[in-house]
Amino acid sequence: KAYTDRGNTYILEGKPDDAIADFSTAIKLNPKSEHAFFNRGVAYQAKDRMDQAIADFNAVLKLNPKLFQAYFYRGLAYQSNGKLDQAVADFSKTIELNPKFDKAYVNRGNTRILQGVPDQALADFTKAVEVNPKYDEAYGNRGVIYIAKGQYDKAIADFSKAIQVNPKYDKAYSNRGAAYQAKGLFDQAGADYRKAIELNPSERAAYYNMACLSALRKNVEEACVWLERAVDKGYDKWGHMKSDPDLDSIRSAACYQRITEGK
């Protein structure tokens, strides 16, 4: 127990290697310590050592098949490893054991997006906000699906709710701006993009969206300034950039050609 407790302290201090060493000693002393296995699995996840994390969560579930947290964290590890079916199964088992665990719905929804089944993801995000009406990420993720479906008013409502819950949620501002832009509400879109950048100067999507907005307004120089800033911040979706109709008005501009040269 002393090793396990010290390992927990190391995790809180951001020292996963020290934590893993302590949990390993605890397991040698007590091979049936589900807490030591579970916490070592979490520490392995922090080190991006997902196979070892999965092995530890497997050991936990042999000792305690009803520990829903172990299914949840194993699901996260499977998701990171690209094993999407296993991840969905684990999140589903988590929900079976604890139907009020809102994070399981959101992560199952995220996994279902990766699987290409957005309607099922939409149902999961909806269930998450039913369980927890203050879950900002659930509103934000559902809003993204509504944008993809062209249901912009529903998207705006969800992003607005996410912002109400968490006024510092920069991606919600950026995505709400995109929904406003799709509706032709350019002033509202610009205000949201600028707020997203104010909250997070590294939010590259907001810079790119500002470039698109400026291009739609036929402001070539301003569009290029924003586009260059987006690239400087790490925006690298060159294929999308070259095919995005929002940027059509600046294709022939020297500044655009300089930014995309060789890409």
Q: Indicate the pLDDT class of residue 196, thresholds 50, 70 and 90.
A: very high
Nearest by Cα to 174 from 151, 150, 154, 155: 155
The Cα 156–Cα 146 span in angstroms is: 9
Burial 196-220 (b: 16+ CB within 10 A, else e): bbebbeebbbbbbbbbbbbbbeebb
Q: What is the pTM of this model?
A: 0.91
The Cα 224–Cα 209 span in angstroms is: 12
Is residue 83 helix, strand or coil? coil
- CB-neighbour burial class of residue 252 (10 A; exposed 0-12, middle 13-18, buried 19+): exposed
136-148 vs 102-115: helix crossing angle, rounded to 10: 20
The Cα 22–Cα 37 span in angstroms is: 11
Residue 77's pLDDT is what? 98
Residue 183's pLDDT is what? 97
The Cα 190–Cα 178 span in angstroms is: 9
**pLDDT tens by residue, 16-74:** 999 999 999 999 999 999 999 999 999 999 999 999 999 999 999 999 999 999 999 99
Residue 199's pLDDT is what? 98
**pLDDT tens by residue, 13-31:** 999 999 999 999 999 999 9
Residue 197's pLDDT is what? 97
Average pLDDT over residues 89-113: 98
Handedness of CA 44, 106, 124, 177 (dihedral sign): negative
Q: Indicate the pLDDT class of residue 255, thresholds 50, 70 and 90.
A: very high
Residue 206: C-alpha distances to residues 154, 173, 203, 230 (Å): 20, 9, 6, 8
**pLDDT tens by residue, 150-194:** 999 999 999 999 999 999 999 999 999 999 999 999 999 999 999
118-131 vs 136-148: helix crossing angle, rounded to 10: 150
**pLDDT tens by residue, 111-141:** 999 999 999 999 999 999 999 999 999 999 9
